Structure 1
Amino acid sequence: MRRRSVLLALPAGLLTLAACGGEGEGADAEESVEATQPPQSPQAAPTGKIVDGPLPEITEGKAFGEAPTVAKGQGEPSSDIAVQVLTAGTGATVAKGDYLQFNYLGQIWDTAKVFDSSFERGKASVFQIGIGQLIPAWDQVLVGKKAGSRIELGVPPAYGYGEQGQPQAGIEGDDTLVFVIDVVGTFNGKSSAQGEEKPQDDDALPTVGTNTDGAAPAIELPGGQPPKDLVADYVIEGDGAEVESTDAVLVQYKGVLWDGGKEFDSTYGRGQLAQFGLDGVVEGWSRGLTGKKVGSRVMIVVPPDLGYGESGQNEIPGGATLVFSVDILAVV
């Protein structure tokens, strides 16, 4: 039987292909992450020629991380994909299938009308790259770039939203688009928490491994009865922003039963990260991760009343206390 995840995948956003609705929207929380990802394009994405211009000038906010202001395009845009690396990053290299964390501004060449900006929202976006979740120009250009890079793109319709455009964003089928993209980070199945190891000196609680090599950490269970209340302790404390109760997160995790230590779910086993909103998981997860810092590994002990109760679910028996190791890689 196919193993099911206890987590809920997020719906696609504006930059996805127009056909990327998802049967994951409104799906039950037990559906697998892989099953609820937006579908890839039914046809191979077009590959364009890369040229270095023309591209409009960034007039304000020129540094990586600053919200940019971009001038109106001058003259006719290229029918090819125009690319300029404005800041060359030195971080990890983006690979096909990675979860790319980025900030971006998008506007229309002819009018300079901004149709979307994560800078204005104050929160970076996260999507898988190179597999058809994002428009073809992004999938082609961003694979191989490094975290810390700022890239400006000119995207003609053939490598953007096609002849149908994106009416809800005011993008018509003949619009060339201009993007400024800051590559904040990139994550894959080998990503781990990074930070300061914290003491695990309570003999009545589980001990979680501190390896950061991308392998699943060991979870050693104590003897005795489980705690009746929720426990959420740092194993590794990162230095990122604190997770809010309204956030969604990108994580690695492993879950075992307190009684017997049987593993019932793990992103490591699937080789696939999970992303979910804290309002879409069991209460023990949402309460346990709220207030914890991005970049951290957290040990969570979830009593039955904050987990799956007396009924259980799939491989989780009724009345089970659950133990998780959770690496918070990014806020989505």
Structure 2
Amino acid sequence: MKRNRALLALMPIALVSTLLAACSSSEPTTGPSGVDCTPAGAASSALKIEGDFGTAVTLASDVPVTADALERSVLIQGDGEVVQAGDEISTMVTYINGTSGDVLNSQQIDLVYDTDQIEPWAFDIINCSSFGDRVAAVAPVVEVLGAGGGVNVGMEDTDSFVLVFDFLEACEALTPRDANFPEVDLGDGTTEPVITIPACMEPPAELEIEVLVEGDGPVVEADQNIMTNYVGVDWDGAVRFDGNWSETGIQFSTAEGALISGFTQAMVGQKIGSTILVTMPSELGYNDGMTRTFVLQLVSVA
């Protein structure tokens, strides 16, 4: 497995609204790894987070939120097993600028809980966590990205991140593929579609393309610029991680290598005006071990 970096590519996310508050002791204990649990502090204990468990969340606390060293608080106490070194885990991670309160990134990440696989700050947040927990941390930018690293996300070295980890229950076994999924609600066609996929369902091994709405425009060819709307979700549970849906769309090129391979294969040969459902294995997507599903709307030739 590739080493998980501190921040993934920035992307828009959906916001949700359930109010939660911190409720953690500040006394450190020892986790199963033999390393002391990172203690809570004044900043992490005061955090208020809005969002349903397992979804993108937002910060409801007053800003700025800062800490001189990593602080960790448990906001929701799960009833699962304690995460052990070497466990393969899925966690919904939201990165928030503690100075502005802006959400920088939110995505479900699959990783191995091991010092050789993840950054030290992430190891310290995961240590002592259980499946079903929501853990929030406040960490100085320099501890996560190193000196000067914050410039890439519009932050100063004196700023802090608010990091929210939802530890999803591990799948004991994958259920057989249900042909009724992915399920797509297109709405009225002007708003972003909603994709539904049950958690822990066997993903397809090959590229799947389904035309949901066939357009009547010209056929998309290679080496064209196409105005496109899209929304993407992780296969496991259909957690949204990226998207853009507007009247005009954004410009994508079908030139070789301009997009992930699954996108290009799905677009070329389809008619402008079409809406397409695409599910692609990792090797045709971001090559990160995760299957993903997209809805693409081919708006016009640029």
TM (norm. structure 2) is: 0.45
Q: Which has the larger radius of gyration?
A: 1
TM (norm. structure 1) is: 0.42
